[in-house]
Amino acid sequence: MLNKVSLVPLEEDVAFVRTSLQSLDDMRGECYVLVGEPEKGLKYLEKATNTLDHKLTRTHCRLLMQQAEAYLAAGMPDISVDKAMEGLRVAKVLESTSNINWAKEIYLKIRTSPYKEELFAQRLRDAIKDK
């Protein structure tokens, strides 16, 4: 049976995924945030952002939103909003509905937090409303 299998070059194999140090840092950072260690996760997410080719704007946008979530989880909502707004600007240019919705989700978390009346929360709300 195995002798009848034709070999497909890796580059043509649809299941082949080429990993990079940037993508590993990205995943490692996300995992640390998900297990409740956002400060550790932020180190990896920032490293992933710094090594990213910024021509990959969708990836850059996603990393900004991941950082926004991590900063919020780490109790730094003002920095979270800065990252979310930066990601939202990129998302609007790309017309990336998923990342625009992600910014809305971050705002909803802030709106139900003790920080809901802070100026940074209002800035994010206004940026989301602004088309």
DSSP letter string, 6-54: PP--GGG-TT-----HHHHHHHHHHHHHHTT-HHHHHHHHHHHHHHS-T
- Whole-prediction pTM: 0.79
Convert the pLDDT of each residue in 27-75 to its tens digit: 899 999 999 999 999 998 999 888 887 776 888 999 999 999 999 999 9
So what's the pLDDT on residue 98?
A: 95
Q: Give the class (CATH, top level) of 17-129.
A: mainly alpha
